[in-house]
Structure 1
């Protein structure tokens, strides 16, 4: 799965719900500026690159930020390579010898493409973050597991399909996803658009666990009960913009829901930053129509957003939650009498 095989010996001390808000007095302006100044650097000398990115910064969180920002701004997501790998892994999933041979071959292909073209997939992003961070004496690990997106067929999600990172800062572990933070690949054209998403940098583990399921349970970084794999597969679709507005999503628990006509339905999310009630939009689709509404019943208390809505007619509905133009989440509802 990963570009380079690792053996791990860890002693873990976890801070529960560690996230970027743990550093309220830290400005990442200088770190981001340094990362962009060296944007055209190649990967021929990782120790030198790590030094350039971190030597003028004073805290580990700033140094890691410069590394994270550089990788996410300088390395393209190669969706064509990702698709090829997934097809091969699916084809050989019941043939351990062929799967092992392909994994070994793919590691060489992916590593060569990363060094030569600065294009990669999730394992390449995670590997590069780990290497550059370790060279700066920052403890960082690769986390393998499962991830869900809106285009994914969950019926085929039977083997790990994604990798991300855990980084130790000030004695606490934090989660980040450089692949999803870097931008948006087009599954049809295979073109990639750089679009940095700050929400995937030191993300809150509560929202992270909705669409990331680590192969090793310890990497949930959750004190509360961890979601089961079934819960993970049944969860709503959470989009990248959710991470910029919210730290958690609690209701509805599932993507597919069955409700009664005129039954009160609650949407509940925990805010990272204040939002205006008038910016909350529900886009409701049926086979015959699509309409945007501003829900009448919205409550914002103690950074908790609650939206109440009821369907007045039976049928099948797709519901998309927006904050202004930012798509946050998607659900389906079968409404019965």
Structure 2
């Protein structure tokens, strides 16, 4: 009985399943007939036309759920970052110069994200190339809308509008990058936060003021800012200048001037706090390009009672100079003295009373062209520091180091003790400019010393080097 019972139950089950399948088939057949009938009706209706703009509207990137990417950003209960973060070293085999050249050659005057993506795609094979060509095309072709930023009336920041006007504020740049990246099959997100850009004031970052992007390349996340990559604003004018630094910028560097509202977008193992962000000096790409590192003064504001030193670590071939500014007017060079010793750049500062701004510039000593701003501090001084003597370019280029005298003016008719280190110099002389009297300093290795009777207000220190009969002025007192 048990066996029959099992057999009966099986047959009943099979029969029941058969009847259900018949019912389902009939139902789907009915739906199919209705669908075909509807298509035929629409086809015969003269009002049924293909409307590309309507389709673009229905599938516009503005209607996509940006949180869909954020949902992939899983954080465990201890808020530990589990995102895979990419390194710029992993992209070193990509020929970005080639991609940048392709991007600069692509001309497009339309407003369709899909059309532009289809023009850029043939030049790329990898995710890294796709991410880069989008960055490059935007930075070459979209301008920052300074007037919109200053007025607070940003207008339509959708990708089609940015393509139409060829300008926008940061959200417009970020939205366009996101749209193009998605059109080319990349995982991407817009990141909101705080940035130390145009108009930034230390400690005044209560409102979100910037937007940038994160993009996934080979299952790892990278940070980029196409707005800052497009150029800079100076005196209220936008200067378009392609800057590759803000593509796949190392998170440890990016966080210094980009603080996201969501902690996971720091892409850092150790959380960087808002207080750290607000108190860190303003550091530019040149700082990292020239291999500089902070040794002293890790905070943006320096409070002092007079003279002080800022010390930076630097490669042998990096040189620097510094300027003090107040109310955007520069003080003369006597307020700073930049020297180098043992791969350390020492910036001596003699600030005036009150508030000023210390700007440090750097470049490779063999490079041509101007120095580039590397780091900026705010200085608050209770007392005025005594000014320094003037140094010439040869002083920096020869890695000279002046120990004394360190005051701009020397007492007349008194002995002054000179000590200066000039690597590879054959001879160093102290010159009384008024009388043209030359006093030879005693050499001990690279260090030259001696007591000199100062008989006039203008004294120069000059050096002679191997293979050159000329004497080059290093320092001048006046």
- TM-score when normalising by structure 1: 0.77
Q: Is the contact made by 1:199 and 1:244 (CA closer than 8 Å) also made in structure 2?
A: no
**Which residue of structure 2 lines up, in the alignment, with residue 14 of structure 1?**
83
| C-alpha distance after superposition, 1:278-322 (max 9, x if no partner) | x3222244788321866323444xxxxx43344467745532111
**Which residue of structure 2 lines up, in the alignment, with residue 69 of structure 1?**
136
Q: Is the contact made by 1:146 and 1:162 (CA closer than 8 Å) also made in structure 2?
A: yes
Larger radius of gyration: 2
Counterparts of 1:276 and 1:237, CA distance in 2: 23
**Would the alpha carbon gap of residues 46 and 276 (structure 1) be closer, same or farther in structure 2, given more than 3 Å must change?**
same
| C-alpha distance after superposition, 1:109-150 (max 9, x if no partner) | 666641321111111111111111111111111100011136
Match for residue 328 of structure 1 among 348, 354, 374: 374
**Which residue of structure 1 lines up, in the alignment, with residue 145 of structure 2?**
78
Which segments of 5 or more consecutive residues in structure 2 lack a partner in the other structure? 1-60, 75-81, 364-370, 384-478
Match for residue 310 of structure 2 among 265, 268, 285: 265
SS at match of 2:102: helix
Greater relative CO (CA pairs within 8 A, separation 6+): 1
User: Aligned pair 1:26/2:72, yes or no?
Assistant: no
Counterparts of 2:99 and 2:225, CA distance in 1: 18
- TM-score when normalising by structure 2: 0.56
Counterparts of 2:157 and 2:117, CA distance in 1: 24
**Would the alpha carbon gap of residues 37 and 309 (structure 1) be closer, same or farther in structure 2, given more than 3 Å must change?**
closer
Q: Is the contact made by 2:198 and 2:233 (CA closer than 8 Å) also made in structure 1?
A: no
| C-alpha distance after superposition, 1:217-262 (max 9, x if no partner) | 1111112341x22222222122354464458767532221124656
User: Aligned pair 1:172/2:214, yes or no?
Assistant: no
Match for residue 140 of structure 1 among 163, 188, 208: 188
Counterparts of 1:121 and 1:313, CA distance in 2: 37
User: How do residues 87-102 of structure 1 correspond to structure 2 at under 5 angstroms?
Assistant: none
**Which residue of structure 2 lines up, in the alignment, with residue 297 of structure 1?**
340
Match for residue 307 of structure 1 among 339, 342, 345: 345
Match for residue 280 of structure 1 among 311, 315, 320: 320
Counterparts of 1:22 and 1:255, CA distance in 2: 33
Counterparts of 2:90 and 2:292, CA distance in 1: 13
User: How do residues 121-160 of structure 1 correspond to structure 2 at under 5 angstroms?
Assistant: 121-149=169-197, 151-154=199-202, 156-160=204-208
User: How do residues 206-285 of structure 1 correspond to structure 2 at under 5 angstroms?
Assistant: 206-226=252-272, 228-242=273-287, 244-245=289-290, 251-259=296-304, 261=306, 264-268=309-313, 276-277=317-318, 279-285=319-325
Which segments of 5 or more consecutive residues in structure 1 lack a partner in the other structure? 89-105, 301-305
**Which residue of structure 2 lines up, in the alignment, with residue 99 of structure 1?**
none
SS at match of 1:58: coil
Structure 1 residue 56, shift from structure 2 partner: 3.1
Q: Is the contact made by 2:111 and 2:160 (CA closer than 8 Å) also made in structure 1?
A: no
Root mean square deviation of aligned Cα: 3.1
Q: Is the contact made by 2:112 and 2:160 (CA closer than 8 Å) also made in structure 1?
A: no
Worse-matched range after superposition: 249-258 or 210-219: 249-258
Worse-matched range after superposition: 290-299 or 154-163: 290-299
Q: Is the contact made by 1:180 and 1:240 (CA closer than 8 Å) also made in structure 2?
A: no
Worse-matched range after superposition: 209-218 or 280-289: 280-289
How many residue pairs match? The answer is 302
